Amino acid sequence: MVSIGPLPVPGRLLLAPMAGVTDLAFRTVCREQGAAGAVSEMISAQALLYQDGKTRALLRREKVPGLYGVQLFGKEPEILARAAKKALELSGCDYIDLNMGCPTGKIVRNGEGCALMRDLPLAGRIIAAVRAAVPVPVTVKCRKGWDSGSVCAVELARIAREEGADAVCVHGRTRAQLYSGRADWDVIREVKRSVDIPVIANGDVFEPEDVPRILRYTGADLAMAGRGAMGNPWLFSRGAAALAGEPVPPMPGVRERMRVARRQFGLALEDKGEKIACLEARKYLSWYLRGVPYAGYAREKISRVTAAADVERVIDLICRELTGETEDRD
């Protein structure tokens, strides 16, 4: 079994951190479908130290067992170190992940996220400071580099290893690429060859078969899926089957999809209250209908839910109209 520091990882596919997506409710359903670990949405170190409420709510740990990392972003070693301590204290997370890959304009303009790949000495000081501040493993998530002329994932991974990081996760795209083109798995392979800490391969794991493919191709210890898991937590159970060389079960039908969507919504309701849970459900409920024929009318209804009762009604409608049967609610 692969370990991150002393932590054994119960599987080989992790859920990637995604702001606005991987909240407590979604992390829970992914874990229930076999995700070996999950990472919080990215959390501003500065906001965690100096503001209340919203930022702290992002930290809450899901109740189902499994590896949980909190991801922090920032640029000042001292602030990140203090924030890491606080995140650990408040959440009881298993490890701290440092964001060095976020490409968003307002983050990189501020010298944070992927901008740290343009200042490797500072990235190193951040890793060292956080390493010294917390007793749990520290991981670094980066991209291939800033742009095609400044590919530096290998260099950053070496620095991370030197400064005491316990694993490094590489998304095989540059900042300039954002999410376009194909992820470069060769660079992940190079990173794996260059460091002796676990490497997590990330980028374009969309189908169950991609899990053994990315692991074999890159030699990485673990894989991580982001967009492919949206509305599709079965990527984890089906990916595990593919990895074990077993027949991959087909995508579940509408009934099972709606069972899990209802569960995700119920958890979100508990965690965030009706107003926010409903606004967010407008986005992710539709994802559960990917590939389902004649779903246009249901999507239209989903885009207008404002109360928990609307969500229940639209899920019932989907179960009735798109499967010809009403879902069991036991």
Measured from the CB of residue 161, what is the shortest distance to ligand FMN in angstroms?
A: 19
End-to-end CA distance of the chain: 35
- Locus of tokens 């409920």: 285
Binding of residue 280 to ligand FMN (CB under 6 A): no
Closest residue to ligand FMN, based on beta-carbon distance: 226
Phi and psi torsions of 136, nearest 5°: -95, 165
Q: Which stretch binds ligand FMN (CB under 6 A): 116-124, 127-135, 226-234, 264-272?
A: 226-234
Binding of residue 225 to ligand FMN (CB under 6 A): yes
Catalytic residue among 30, 93, 102, 169: 102
Q: Do the beta carbons of residue 73 and residue 43 sit within 8 Å?
A: yes
Instruction: Give dist(CA 184, CA 144) in Å, integer.
Output: 8
Binding of residue 41 to ligand FMN (CB under 6 A): yes
Q: Chain-centre distance of CA 218, in angstroms? A: 20
Which of 70, 26, 6 has the alpha carbon at shortest distance from 236?
26
Catalytic residue list contains 102: yes
Measured from the CB of residue 245, what is the shortest distance to ligand FMN in angstroms?
A: 22
Instruction: Give dist(CA 10, CA 240) in Å, integer.
Output: 11
Q: Which is nearer to ligand FMN, 77 or 101 (CB)?
A: 101
Instruction: Give dist(CA 71, CA 73) in Å, integer.
Output: 7
Q: Which stretch binds ligand FMN (CB under 6 A): 44-52, 151-159, 198-206, 295-303?
A: 198-206
Q: Do the beta carbons of residue 71 and residue 18 sit within 8 Å?
A: no
Site residue total, ligand FMN (CB under 6 A):
22
Among 85, 227, 255, 282, binds ligand FMN (CB under 6 A): 227
Please give the residues from 89 up to 128 whose contact with ligand FMN meets the rule CB under 6 A.
Answer: 99, 101-102
Encoded tokens for 317: 């409608």
Q: Chain-centre distance of CA 326, in angstroms? A: 32
Binding of residue 17 to ligand FMN (CB under 6 A): yes
Binding of residue 287 to ligand FMN (CB under 6 A): no
The identity of residue 319, as a single letter, is C
Q: Which is nearer to ligand FMN, 184 or 327 (CB)?
A: 184
What amino acid positions are annotated as catalytic residues? Answer: 102
Which residues contribute to the site for ligand FMN (CB under 6 A)? Answer: 16-21, 41-42, 71, 99, 101-102, 141, 171, 202-205, 225-228
